[in-house]
Structures are given as C-alpha cells and as structure tokens.
Amino acid sequence: MEGFKLLVLAAALIGVTCGVSISNQEPKKLVCYYGSWAVYRPGDGKFDVEHMDPMLCTHLIYGFAGLAQDGTLRILDDYNDLEENWGRGAMRRFTNFKLVNPNLKVLLAIGGWNEGSIRYSDMALTQASRRRFIDSVTPFLDRYNFDGFDLDWEYPADRGGRPEDKANFALLCEEMRADFDTRGWLLTAAVSAGIPTIDKAYDVPSISRSLHFINVMTYDFHGGWESYTHHNSPMDAIPEVDTGNNTWLNAKSAIDHWITRGCPPEKLILGMGTYGRGWTLNDASENGFYAPANQPIEAGPYTREPGIWGFNEVLEKFAQEPGQWTIVRNEFVAAPYAFNQRKWISYDDVESINGRVSYVLDKGLGGGMFWSIETDDFHGLYSSEAFPLLKTARRGLIGGDIPTPPPTTTDPTAPTTVTTPRPSPPPDGLCTAPGLVPNPTNCRIYHMCVPIGGGEYDVVTYHCPEGTVYFPDMQICNWFDGPGCP
C-alpha cells in the first residue's frame, strides 16, 4: 500500500434472539451501516447502493429515516430513497440485495445525531403515541421488504429529552418487539458508549430482553470539539496519561459497563469506524496525545466536513504526500494516528481491526458493526482489495472465503435475477463503473455491476415484470407503452 503501514479499526457485532442466551459458538454478526447521502459525494467518494458487495455483511442497515412532527415515520430524501414520483428507489434497490444473497438481513434505521431527541421523547411519551409510531413503521417495512428496524435515538433523556425517556424507551422497545415477533422481523438499536449517557438513557436489562442485538457506538470518544488531540476510538485507557473522564472514554470501558448493567455479552455488537477524526496542531513540534489543537483538521475532499476523514481519504492523502506522514501506534489505544506538520489524524486500519475482532471473540460478544461502509477504501484504490476494513473483519468473525453472488430464484411477481459468470472485464464491455446499467438490446433487462477489485465486476441481471421496461434515468422498472425504449 504505497509503502505505508496503515492501520484499520475493526469491531465485532453481537446479536442474539431476544431472551435466549446463545453460546459463543453462535455465528458472529457483521453489521454494516450505509449512510445513503454518500450518493451525493463527488468523484471517487460517491457511493451508491450498487457499490456495496452484498456478500460481505450479515446485516445491512440503511440510514436514515426520520420522525415527523406528529410522531410518525418520515422519509428524509424522497427523491433518492423512494421510487414513487420518479425517485431513484434506493431503498428498494437496497432490499433487493436479498435476491443476490438470501442469507442477508436488511434493516432500516431511524434517527441519528442530526435528528436530535425532542421529537423522539414526545413520540415515546404515551402508549397512544408509541402505537401511532409503530403503526407507521410496520406497513413501510412490509412495503419495502425490510427485515427489521434499528432505533438510533440519540439519546433518551438527553439533548432536550425528558428524564422519563429511560422508561419510555424501554416500553417502546417492548411494544415494538411484540409486534415484530408476529412478523419475524428484527429489532435492534444503536446506543451510546458514554457511561453517564448509558446510565441516564437506558434501562439495560429491559431493552436487552426486547432487542435482538445492540450496536454500541464505540467511536467518537474524541474529536475536533476538543482542544487537544486524542484517538477517535481508543480500545483502552493509557495508564498515567488518561485522567478524569478520559479514563473511561474507550471501547473496553463501554462494553464492560453495558455488561455490568445487565446486558448479555452475546447481545452486544462492537462498533468500529471506517473514518478518523483529526485536528490542526497549534505547534507542529507537539504532536502526541493531548497536543494543543484548537482547530479541527481541514475537510476531506469527499466527506467535506472539517475534523473528519474517511479511511479512503486518509489513504488518499498518504498517497498524495508520500514520505511526509509519520504514523504512530500506542499499545493501549491499539489503533494508529498520523501527523504531517500541523495536520493530525486518528483512524483505524487493517491491523487495528484485527485487534478489535480478537477482542470480540475473546469477550464472547455477538459480532462487529461498522459505521459506515461508504468511507472504507471501497474502490480498492489504495489497498490490495476493495473494502479492506470490512473484509478484514469478515475473515476474522466469520472465516472462510468471501463468496461471490450465487444464482437466485425469486417470487414470480418480483424482478427475477441471475448471476452471470464473472467477466474480467465483461466481454461486451457492459460494466465500466459500479452501478445499474441498461441492457443494450433489450429494454426489459438491466444489470447491476458489482466491483470485486482489479477492475473486475460481478454482473447481476434483472428482468422487469411483464408490461414494464427499465428507465435508466430513474433506475427503476415502470410501465411504458411507447415505441422503442425510454
């Protein structure tokens, strides 16, 4: 990798059936969140649904839906998410990955940091308001063929919420689980890794019974909101260096606290980041942990937010500035940081992901989770393979070769799919980039080009239902009675 030894943080995710203890021999989960707004990133950072490899993760989670003022589910990006009104239908294309990988579970997440807490507090306040919310979720999941729902309320009893949110969130989980059990759906949550927030927000024994598994966000412990450097996701405290609150701002403390408060280890999924957080140093000569830094690092070209770089942006920067970056690893943090003059970035690489996988296995956790797949080196531009972080975690948690998409059979009312032999490149030059492409001779047929590295693609062929044809601009099948193709 361009002569650099780079580190990738990996985490293991854990999931179990509610109320049922499973042994450590239970297959581990690899849960992967997708930030759907990545479709709007420029250049090599653009990540659409078809950039995913549906064989990598055991669970894919689409982020995000939101909450309307009346406490019902709302869609945040109608044009990208839905196929109605000439939309791009990203959610339908997302759940269609189950046609390629029948073992895959696909969930929809609601919430996230930007949604805040106030509306969620109002929604969870009474049994009637919770029922109104649940009744808005279930038909949507059914319509778009999701396998479950992920609650990412950040956070109950915080950020404008009520003290009673702790009890109300537990009731929400219990009531949703009762409904979901009748449909065979999964109910999960993304939860805080901060000890004060855990104690304030979660009735841990109750939600542990209701949720199939719990995604612990063991990242964002440090970042540009602070005036000194530290790692985004340290595994452990640094003895005699970390003091005060920073002694528990790490992954091991968070997981131990969840377990101590009553969550079975096998229900906990360890969060890992495919991104890093960084600063602009006040003085280039002070470049270790706790170095004074009053400004975040400059924005990356794709994520375009000061203080945060995707792993793909980190590797790109190293390649563009060869020999200028010094990479440092601390045995307790167990993940690297790098500096170049006044630029300082903490991140995770393949080596650190391997360490997190080992922790998941040793601790008996349910698996690992990534936030989020679209900032891995998904093109493989600076790595020996595409998705190096995800693939490292998959090999460690699940083992064996990563399968290629098999031929599938589907409901006759749904688009049918068949996987063609892997071309390298396709003999007809069909695939030149990831994504959906029309068939050049039959407008009822379209293809999904799935990158597998080295300029090669798996080609998945879809047939539109009778009476419909493929509209390339909308990337959906629709009714068409005109001559020729649209």
Rg (CA), the chain: 22
Tell me the H-state helices in 294-387.
311-320, 350-363
Cβ partners under 8 Å of residue 203, min gap 6? 166, 167, 169, 170
H helix or E strand, kind and range, residue 268: strand 268-273
Residue 327 tokens, joined: 């990479």
Gap between the Cα atoms of 136 and 72, Å rounded: 6
Torsion angle (degrees, nearest 10) of CA 251, 190, 166, 182:
-140
Contact call for residues 284 and 293 (beta carbons, < 8 A): no
* Cα angle: 286, vertex 292, 293; to 5 degrees: 110
- Cα separation, 226 vs 229, in Å, equals 8
Is 321 tagged catalytic?
no
Q: Is the dihedral of CA 226, 232, 233, 239 positive or negative?
A: negative
Peptide bond into 372 cis (omega under 30): yes
Q: Report the Cα–Cα distance between both ends of the chain, in Å, rounded.
A: 44
CA dihedral 48, 372, 15, 108 (to 10 degrees): -50
Instruction: Tell me the C-alpha distance between 466 and 124, whole Å.
Output: 44
CA distance 458 to 423: 7
In angstroms, rounded to a whole number, what is the distance separating the alpha carbons of residues 192 and 297? 25
Residue 39 phi/psi, 5-degree rounding, is: -65, -20
Take residue 53 and report the two structure tokens written for it. Answer: 């490899």
Q: How far is CA 210 from CA 16, 156, 400, in A?
A: 11, 16, 32
**Residue whose pair of structure tokens reads 């495919």 in the numeric block:** 274
Cβ(168)–Cβ(156) under 8 Å? yes
User: Structure tokens of 249?
Assistant: 């701002």
> Of these residues, 50, 83, 115, 154, which one is catalytic?
154
Pairwise CA distance, residues 120 & 307, whole Å: 28
Q: Take residue 427 and report the two structure tokens written for it.
A: 């003999």
**Nearest alpha-carbon partner for 305 in 37, 484, 47:** 37
Residues that are catalytic = 154
